[in-house]
Amino acid sequence: MPNLEYPGFTGLSDQVLFRAASTTEKTTHQPRAVIIYGWGDALAKHVVKYADGFQQLFPSANQIVVLSPISRAMWQSSEKRAEHMAHVVKAAFPSEDANTHDEGSVLIHMMSNTGAIFYTSTLHAYRAAYNKPLPHRLVVLDSTPGSTDISLATLPRLSRAMTLGTAAWFPWPFLVTQCLWATFLAGNHLLEIITGRDSAPVTSLKTFQNADMEEKSAKRFYLYSKEDQIIFWSDIEKHIAESREQGWQTDAVIFEGSGHVGHMRLHPEKYWNNIKLAWVEASTEKNDT
Q: What is the pLDDT of residues 164-223, one digit of tens each?
A: 666 666 777 877 777 776 676 666 656 666 766 666 778 888 999 999 999 999 999 999
pTM: 0.86
Q: What is the dihedral of CA 40, 41, 43, 49, to 10 degrees?
A: 0
Helix (H) or strand (E) holding 208, with range, is helix 200-208
CA 178 to chain centre: 24
| CATH 3.40.50.1820 residue spans of the chain | 10-147+200-285
Q: What is the pLDDT of residue 153?
A: 67
- Which homologous superfamily is 10-147+200-285 in? Alpha/Beta hydrolase fold, catalytic domain (3.40.50.1820)
How many whole angstroms separate alpha carbon 231 and alpha carbon 238? 12
Instruction: Residue 21: count other Cβ atoms within 10 Å of its Cβ.
Output: 18
Q: What is the pLDDT of residues 29-79, one digit of tens each?
A: 799 999 999 998 898 999 999 999 999 999 999 999 999 998 888 778 889
Please report which confidence band the pLDDT of residue 157 belongs to, taking 50, 70 and 90 as the band edges: low
Q: What is the pLDDT of residue 150?
A: 60
Tell me 105's DSSP state: -
Q: What is the pLDDT of residues 17-30, one digit of tens each?
A: 999 998 877 677 79
How many whole angstroms separate alpha carbon 73 and alpha carbon 168? 19
